[in-house]
Structure 1
């Protein structure tokens, strides 16, 4: 039982968190694939302020050694909960190791902050931000295709993302090995990962400047 304060989450803090971590690794290795954490989220009470999947990822990735930032949490409710449970330190967008984007965050704010986050440097490219973004699956994913490591040929982008967002991502991933890694969560307990090495192009067209 994972229990603190007035919240009860009937999850195993060792076994279930290990399963979340393994799922994240597998999803990063297979960009664009849709994985489910429903067997774990079904044990949880309401996460209050964020998707259950977002909460699980925060509990898995954050600890006292890392920093985080949250967009779309004007009252600081989710920020306070995550700090209390993980002991991770809240910091500015420019310094955060992990950046959480909650459901109601405007695209304007997201795109602005994408330009501000850290992307590592040539000596330490791993010192970059990982984004965890609440999103929805696209039921007709025919506009964009993905190519790159972990993808055989190409695959569809199964998310509802705009060209403006993808252009902003391109601006932070066009100097390999620098960049950002993206983890998308849904209300239905799904996750989709887009590591910095994944290229995005319009379906049916040659790989274009979106990913270069």
Structure 2
């Protein structure tokens, strides 16, 4: 890996922050992902997002097939010094495309949403997506969006229905970072209203 752990990851952080402040807007990480030489069990944009936000002060939990879960957990721990935690205690949930549906549903039920005193003590989800586009699938509205923003994530509607249940008592909830195989990222914070416009 020839990523500059300071300069390049700062750029990734700025892109993620920009996408979080403008929900549904898609940012490109090509300049950074093309520097990755290793073969990871996730897409490159996903890996860079995880590398950027995880450190020794936070915990994470991987939701994926058993083989990928073991490998990604080892890699993330090694690169970031972040600690593995049960899903109900993890600061970050790392969700890969091949995760069994029942595990995804269970993680959504159990993950942290914070409390009224400390709403920031909630889980941020980093999700591997096939392809992000600003076409129909989800309609987003709320702070940082002028009117309505459309986003196609390739993630099934059950996930978004469950996500909506987790954020219906603001400021409690979860934040979502999406990363696709074309080195793109988009974010959906808990403040964003998500309407499902078609089966995705």
TM range (shorter): over 0.9
Alignment of 1:55 onto 2:47: yes
Partner deviation per Cα, 1:15-41 (whole Å, 9 max, x = no partner): 101001111110000101111101100
The unaligned stretches of length 5 or more in structure 2 are none
Q: 1:28 corresponds to which residue?
A: 20
1:95 and 1:118 in contact (8 A); partners too? yes
User: How far is the alpha carbon of 1:72 from its aligned partner?
Assistant: 0.7
Closer, same or farther in 2 for the Cα pair 1:21/1:140, shift >3 Å?
closer
1:107 and 1:165 in contact (8 A); partners too? no
Runs of 4+ in 1 over 3 A off after TM superposition: none
| RMSD (CA atoms) | 1.7
2:137 and 2:152 in contact (8 A); partners too? no
Alignment of 1:178 onto 2:172: yes
Paired residues for 1:125-140 under 5 Å: 125-137=119-131
Paired residues for 1:14-93 under 5 Å: 14-75=6-67, 76-93=70-87
**Distance (Å, rounded) in 1 between the aligned partners of 2:127 and 2:18:** 18
2:157 and 2:196 in contact (8 A); partners too? no
**Distance (Å, rounded) in 2 between the aligned partners of 1:138 and 1:125:** 28
User: How far is the alpha carbon of 1:161 from its aligned partner?
Assistant: 2.7
User: How far is the alpha carbon of 1:13 from its aligned partner?
Assistant: 1.0
User: How far is the alpha carbon of 1:46 from its aligned partner?
Assistant: 3.4
The unaligned stretches of length 5 or more in structure 1 are 1-8, 204-212
How many residue pairs match? The answer is 196
Closer, same or farther in 2 for the Cα pair 1:21/1:115, shift >3 Å?
same
| TM-score, structure 2 as length reference | 0.92
Partner deviation per Cα, 1:143-201 (whole Å, 9 max, x = no partner): 43110000000010221232211110011100000000000111111111000011012
Q: 1:100 corresponds to which residue?
A: 94
Partner deviation per Cα, 1:38-91 (whole Å, 9 max, x = no partner): 110001113421111111112111111100000115131110111111111001
| TM-score, structure 1 as length reference | 0.87
